[in-house]
Amino acid sequence: MSKIIDYRDIDLKSEVIKKINSFNKTRNNRIEMSKRLNNYSDKWKFIFFFLNLEAVFFILLSLGGESLNIFFGQSNFALISGGFSIYVILLQYYISELNYRERALKSHSHQLEIEDQILKLKSILIDLKCNKENKNYEERKSYFLTIMENYQLILKNNENHESIDNIKRLSRDNEKIKVLDYTTDNILLSFNKIFIFIPILILVIIVW
């Protein structure tokens, strides 16, 4: 049974503390998101280096590899070579449209903006502690509402994190917990890590 909150008991100090904790969670999620997207970007660079190398090698073999093996001069190999090259080109275009590096930088910038709002909330706490009387209460309240408006604006203008980022944040202090990434981005990435070896396997089968 959920606890009924009496909103009449809410004061400015308790709300500020509550929002600082909430902002920190969102900020740390954005940090995890930035690291995840940067990781995708770095891995795709590695994958595309080999895929492009293999595509060029396949094309060269289809053009002048008949002396090495008669199959390289046949239309079947030309079809394999062309299909593989088209796959690499389309995949590279698709991944470039996802803008992993740019999104990672934006997410990093976002967490810095949230940190600015956290510092502003902390300044209200300090002010409340130093001035225990209710002087300038309405001014502090107005400042608090302005911070909340800025925060909502920041959220609206930025990409939301994935659930995996929240899970990684929660497990950050426990190294024994291994968090598996089942996002579509990582599944596609993992598939192409394996796919790198398929052209090599095809060549081994042909030459053998």
Give 126-151 pLDDT, tens digit per residue: 888 777 656 677 888 889 999 999 99
- What is the pLDDT at residue 79? 85
Work out the percent of the chain whose per-residue pLDDT is above 70: 87
**Number of neighbours of residue 114 by Cβ within 10 angstroms:** 24
The pair of three-digit structure tokens given for residue 136, joined into one six-digit string: 């300038």
Give 51-108 pLDDT, tens digit per residue: 999 999 888 888 876 666 677 777 887 888 888 999 999 999 999 999 999 999 999 9
**Angle subtended at Cα 22 by Cα 17 and Cα 27, rounded to the nearest 5 degrees:** 125
Domain boundaries of the chain, sorted by first residue? 11-207
Q: Write the CA distances from 164 to 29, 37, 104, 178, 181, integer angstroms.
A: 9, 12, 15, 12, 7
Which DSSP letter does residue 132 get? -
